[in-house]
Structure 1
Amino acid sequence: MEIDVEPATMGAGSITHKMDGQLGAIPLIPSSASIDSAGLNWLKYAIGPPQVDSTSPCRFSYIVIMDSQLWLDVFSNFRYAVGVFLLLSLFLWKLVKIFSNDNQSKKRSFKSWLSGYSYIISAPEILQSGFEKAGKRPYTISTPEHDQVMLSSEKDVAELLAVSEEILSLHAAANDLFRPKYTMGGFELHDNPKDNEPNIHLRVIRVILPSYFPILQPILEQKIRDTFAHELISKAGTEWKSMKAFSGIKRIVAAVNSVLFVGEPLASNPTFVDAALQFPNDAFTTAEVIRMLPAVLSAPISALMTRRSAAIKTMRNFLFPLVEERISKYPRDTDAAEKPLDCVQWLIDSIPKDRPWPTEKIVAKICALWFGSVHQLAMTLTFALYDLGTYPEYVDPLRKELEMHNTESELSSLKERWRAFDRLPVLDSFLKESARLHPSDCISVRRKALTPHMFTSGTHIPEGAWACVPQAALQKDPSYYANPETFDAFRFVSARGDSGDTHTRTSNFTDVALPFPFWGMGKRACPGRYHAAWVLKLVLAHVVLNYDMKFSDDRASRSFKWRSAIVPRSDTTLLFKARGPDAPGTLEV
């Protein structure tokens, strides 16, 4: 069976994805939040080298060859399975055509719509191959919902960032991606540049929270120490303790963020922390289901799915009384020294006096901030620990740098100690290199076209399509990085030696630039990147100073792919052995 995707209109050519072979019943959603590559073994296929069509310098095909023996092992009647899949796909496509409010969805042919599903299981390969064939020219990828036009040149990306949000909208893309109206209790994102009110919660995370880093750092160090020790599982007859990496890291990040977002005693309430950790899982899963269904089904399906989980309800049940207590207990004229140091309080204090917010709105903003602060941070931290285990030669340089920092800052003020910690060059460079090679998403700078837009290069973005930046491909672009596939923890420092004081940074982990669009770009770059980098450094420093670490199984797969995301597997196990209380450089709080 051959499925041919219709080429998308572009300024310099077009891309065609061709799939030859037999296509089985492709799953539309993960079976659970912890699905991994093992759960897709029956979908194994080989993607042959892209075949260049000489009629266009920016045209190529994908050949997908199905393993027929694998299908015979799985299906007793392959043709029946294919027939059922195609009938269900045709039915769903018809529903989308009838009920969708998206003009692009209404115009797509069945072949184009069906072929977009190859994106679900092979997006990283599709995006990388497209980048390699197109160079810095735009290229278009089909997804089940819409087309995505990838922009890689400095000129195109600069223009993308400059276009009005009334034409190319980040918030519209985020609403499509996460469906917050149905997954976050009615919260929605809006583009309204004339109204500063929607930016209040972003100012809290981007400006106010970082100003308290020096004061909060000792508190977080203790929280990390306690939570990390709690997550380790002892093994009889050995000094090594185990932890399911991604699961454990998510709980550590949730515990730390609870201190920053809601403060004590709620941050130590296991019922709240468990619900807060489950909430993003439920939201992602629900959004993934309803984004592939006609809009008319979003409300009933999301209600059915969220009813099965009480996570968001539990969070709100805790947050409502907390917010109301803070408003009554700490009026505006209360001395700042008496107020709690957390995002709930800072958000309340930042609300305009003449336009007070209802409790419902404050809680919704806190939930929205929380949604974006756990999983991405946890995935980045998990991949950093993977790299620490894969490249143990960097443990000693990191450890020496941290030990020297502890010695030199022992008598320093909190502010001086935090500033010195934030500037540690090898730690910063290690995290940036890990994020460069192992981003949790292959795409960045997503913008949805609210109206058709033509770039000066001639690239056309139809209404409903997305304009994006191929993050993973750019971060391995040889024109930006020497030996781009090689992990080099010293890549972003200017000097290399055994002594930590010989290193100086050439760039920062939190920098925003086209060769490193990890945090997004432009005025919409990630507002929480300073918070995220700080927490990443604190946890990694704790591991390096206090533990020796290794993989339980060096050969086990460590991640799986879903759409453009690359997610750590939930069953990858790391082993830790305490260095002892007298180990040089062990953190003392």
Structure 2
Amino acid sequence: MGEDQSSTLIYALIALATVIYFARLLKPGQSSLRGIPAIGPTAPILSYYGAIQYLSRGREMVQEGYDKYKGGAFKVPELFRWHVVVTGHKLIEDLRKASPDELSFNEASAEFLAVDFTLGPAIHQNTYHVPIVKNQLTRNISTLLPEVKDELQVAFNDLIPPTDEWIKVPALNTVMQIICRVSNRVFVGLPKCRDLDYRALNIEFTVGVMKGAFVINMFPKLLRPLAARLLTNVPTNISRGVKHLEPIIRERFRLMEEYGTDYDGKPNDMLSWFMDEAKGEERSVRALVLRILTLNFASIHTTSMSFTHALYHLAANPEYLAPLREDVTRAIKQEGWTRDALQKMLKVDSFLRESHRHHGIGSLTMTRKALKDFTFSDGTFIPKGAFVSAAEAPTHFDEANYENSEVFDPWRFVSNDGNNIEGVKNQMVSTSTDYVTFGHGRFACPGRFFAANELKAMMAHLVLTYDIKMENEGVIPEPVWYSIKVQPNPTAEVMFRRRQS
């Protein structure tokens, strides 16, 4: 289908979606959230205008709600529903404690990522990969760290060759390439993690899922299957993934059949863990490939955003390099290149946590879908089918939670003597009602322990190997906001050279 035809189709579908939306608004029974104050107009026709505004001004509208109703709840207009936002320690704690059969993280994620269409119904209905990430991956961090270190060194050298002259590097794209390589060293191993087309596939798949979910969710549920078939390339990407991984998967199955499940030389990676745990249809090549692609989506997107935000802060403030180098050198001297050393890199940890606090994933987090009626401790009523989230960015910039909250303070979470303030409470992976980038509670990001160690290892290698700066010295590239989501500037460049001192 040509570009003009695609554009015409999109406009036609949006027009139909608008008609359906207005028809739904004019039906009775749409007032179950009436007791919750709204940001934007609430009249049926005008609320649609508010939803259009939310697409471009979501960040400001959530902040407005937080400023007006802090400690309580408010609602913001999305295209096909109102979305409830809770604020303050008490209500965020209520959200954390709610059982998954009341307020469901999985069902909310499935809808916001249009999982049935972007990743497939099996990923939605069978989440066996989640405990593998939470348990096997976390338990194997120490064992896998030498491979992570080796891959990040090779990847940095390939993509940012250390030279004595300053070179400019496109930051976000380069970081995505490095993280894709390092992550896939753990997911599928050598040599596939270094395959150019395989890496390109995973990055394209990651971007495609995000774009696909955004487009699909522009339409009412009735039209989403049609929009997905016409406007996404998920089946093509899965087929491409099969070409890459089918020989590896079939050879591993052959070895398992011939020599047993724990055959000599069996790779200790995510693909092997999936193959060990998969049942029935999930043992097919296509299903296993989809799990790996899904894991890449989760890993590449969030980790790349996090590291690039931190990289911009460091490049704009190269005076931070010396304290970070001292921190890294001391830890490695004491523990070698081990997980224990990464845990002792307290300034690195503080720097990354502060970068997370400043940017995170956007304005909202901990999104849940109500599977039954639910009432918060302050009496806020959430009807079955409604969506509710916690305010993220406003919480992180609340002066009651963080003194001088607008200031980026890289050592905010370490004391003057270099120790963590309040111990593990302020480590990067620790969640709380005032630090919610990873979520909070039982459904906090299950891969955050691996991601944090990966980020810290990357930062340690970077500061030991390079000098960095922005060409426009001292200027942090402006992040880009899409409604309530934020990403680091996608076109900005960072300057690198071989470390001179």
Report whether the alignment pairs 1:147 with 2:82: yes
Q: Partners of 2:357 and 2:477 in 1: how far apart?
A: 20
Q: Partners of 2:24 and 2:208 in 1: how far apart?
A: 25
Q: Partners of 1:456 and 1:383 in 2: how far apart?
A: 36
Which residue in 2 is equivalent to 1:394? 320
Q: Decide whether aligned partners of structure 1 residues 88 and 179 sit closer, same or farther in structure 2, where only a CA change above 3 A counts.
A: closer
Match of 2:293 among 342, 345, 367: 367
The correspondence of residues 271-310 of structure 1 with structure 2, limited to 5 A, is 271-307=197-233, 310=236
The correspondence of residues 73-222 of structure 1 with structure 2, limited to 5 A, is 92-96=17-21, 109-190=44-125, 198-222=126-150
Q: Which has the higher helix share?
A: 2
Name the SS for the 1:189 alignment partner. helix
Indicate the percent of aligned positions where both proteins have the same amino acid: 26
Q: How much does 1:333 deviate? A: 3.6
Name the SS for the 2:133 alignment partner. helix
Paired amino acid for 1:397: P
Paired amino acid for 2:171: A
Q: Partners of 1:446 and 1:469 in 2: how far apart?
A: 7
Q: Partners of 1:104 and 1:89 in 2: how far apart?
A: 24
Task: Please tell me whether the aligned partners of residues 162 and 497 of structure 2 are also in contact (alpha carbons under 8 angstroms).
Answer: no
Which residue in 2 is equivalent to 1:382? 308
Report whether the alignment pairs 1:315 with 2:241: yes
Task: Please tell me whether the aligned partners of residues 361 and 437 of structure 2 are also in contact (alpha carbons under 8 angstroms).
Answer: no
Q: Partners of 1:231 and 1:104 in 2: how far apart?
A: 57
Q: After alignment, is 145-154 or 258-267 more displaced?
A: 145-154
Q: How much does 1:199 deviate? A: 5.0
Q: How much does 1:160 deviate? A: 2.0
Q: How much does 1:356 deviate? A: 7.4
Match of 2:251 among 317, 321, 325: 325
Q: Decide whether aligned partners of structure 1 residues 160 and 504 sit closer, same or farther in structure 2, where only a CA change above 3 A counts.
A: closer
Report whether the alignment pairs 1:537 with 2:456: yes
Paired amino acid for 2:108: A
Q: How much does 1:561 deviate? A: 0.8
Q: Decide whether aligned partners of structure 1 residues 264 and 233 sit closer, same or farther in structure 2, where only a CA change above 3 A counts.
A: closer
Match of 1:477 among 388, 398, 403: 398
Name the SS for the 2:84 alignment partner. strand
Paired amino acid for 2:213: A
The aligned length equals 477
Q: Partners of 1:516 and 1:474 in 2: how far apart?
A: 8
Match of 1:527 among 412, 437, 446: 446
1:156-203: CA deviations, max 9, x gaps? 22222333323321122111111121112443424xxxxxxx453122
Match of 1:514 among 433, 438, 444: 433
Q: Decide whether aligned partners of structure 1 residues 307 and 481 sit closer, same or farther in structure 2, where only a CA change above 3 A counts.
A: closer
Q: Partners of 1:366 and 1:99 in 2: how far apart?
A: 39
Name the SS for the 1:530 alignment partner. helix
Q: Decide whether aligned partners of structure 1 residues 298 and 104 sit closer, same or farther in structure 2, where only a CA change above 3 A counts.
A: farther
Q: How much does 1:472 deviate? A: 1.0
Q: Decide whether aligned partners of structure 1 residues 210 and 450 sit closer, same or farther in structure 2, where only a CA change above 3 A counts.
A: closer
Name the SS for the 1:330 alignment partner. helix
Q: How much does 1:105 deviate? A: 8.1
Q: How much does 1:301 deviate? A: 2.3
Task: Please tell me whether the aligned partners of residues 73 and 380 of structure 2 are also in contact (alpha carbons under 8 angstroms).
Answer: yes
Name the SS for the 2:228 alignment partner. helix
Match of 2:368 among 447, 451, 461: 447
Q: How much does 1:375 deviate? A: 0.6
Q: How much does 1:503 deviate? A: 2.9
Q: After alignment, is 320-329 or 533-542 more displaced?
A: 320-329
RMSD: 3.1
Which residue in 2 is equivalent to 1:564? 484
Q: Decide whether aligned partners of structure 1 residues 456 and 440 sit closer, same or farther in structure 2, where only a CA change above 3 A counts.
A: closer
Paired amino acid for 2:457: L
Name the SS for the 1:467 alignment partner. strand
Q: Partners of 2:82 and 2:190 in 1: how far apart?
A: 46
Match of 1:551 among 464, 470, 477: 470
Which residue in 1 is equivalent to 2:38? none
Q: After alignment, is 253-262 or 211-220 more displaced?
A: 211-220
Which residue in 1 is equivalent to 2:36? none
Q: How much does 1:88 deviate? A: 9.5
Q: Partners of 2:231 and 2:127 in 1: how far apart?
A: 30
1:545-583: CA deviations, max 9, x gaps? 111111123457432110211112221000001116xx6
Name the SS for the 1:519 alignment partner. coil
Which residue in 2 is equivalent to 1:407? 333
Q: How much does 1:351 deviate? A: 4.0
Q: Partners of 1:282 and 1:574 in 2: how far apart?
A: 26
Match of 1:223 among 135, 145, 151: 151
Which residues of structure 1 form unaligned runs of 5+? 1-30, 33-85, 191-197, 497-501, 584-589
Q: How much does 1:341 deviate? A: 1.7
Which residues of structure 2 form unaligned runs of 5+? 1-5, 33-42
1:321-342: CA deviations, max 9, x gaps? 4333322212484446521021
1:264-312: CA deviations, max 9, x gaps? 2211211111101110111111111111112233223222223499433
* TM-score, normalising length: structure 2: 0.87
Paired amino acid for 1:92: A
Q: After alignment, is 443-452 or 540-549 more displaced?
A: 443-452
Q: How much does 1:244 deviate? A: 0.6
Q: After alignment, is 392-401 or 456-465 more displaced?
A: 456-465
Which residue in 2 is equivalent to 1:349? 276
Task: Please tell me whether the aligned partners of residues 151 and 470 of structure 1 are also in contact (alpha carbons under 8 angstroms).
Answer: yes
Q: How much does 1:528 deviate? A: 0.4
Q: Partners of 1:355 and 1:387 in 2: how far apart?
A: 46
1:479-500: CA deviations, max 9, x gaps? 221111111121111334xxxx
Name the SS for the 1:426 alignment partner. helix
Q: How much does 1:384 deviate? A: 0.5
Q: Decide whether aligned partners of structure 1 residues 112 and 256 sit closer, same or farther in structure 2, where only a CA change above 3 A counts.
A: same
Task: Please tell me whether the aligned partners of residues 364 and 389 of structure 2 are also in contact (alpha carbons under 8 angstroms).
Answer: yes
1:514-569: CA deviations, max 9, x gaps? 11011111111100001110111111111111111111234574321102111122
Task: Please tell me whether the aligned partners of residues 104 and 465 of structure 1 are also in contact (alpha carbons under 8 angstroms).
Answer: no
Paired amino acid for 1:204: I
Name the SS for the 1:139 alignment partner. strand
Which residue in 1 is equivalent to 2:415? 494
Task: Please tell me whether the aligned partners of residues 162 and 466 of structure 2 are also in contact (alpha carbons under 8 angstroms).
Answer: no
Q: How much does 1:262 deviate? A: 1.1
Paired amino acid for 1:540: M
Greater relative contact order (Cα 8 A, min sep 6): structure 1 or 2? 2
Paired amino acid for 1:516: Y
Which residue in 2 is equivalent to 1:575? 495
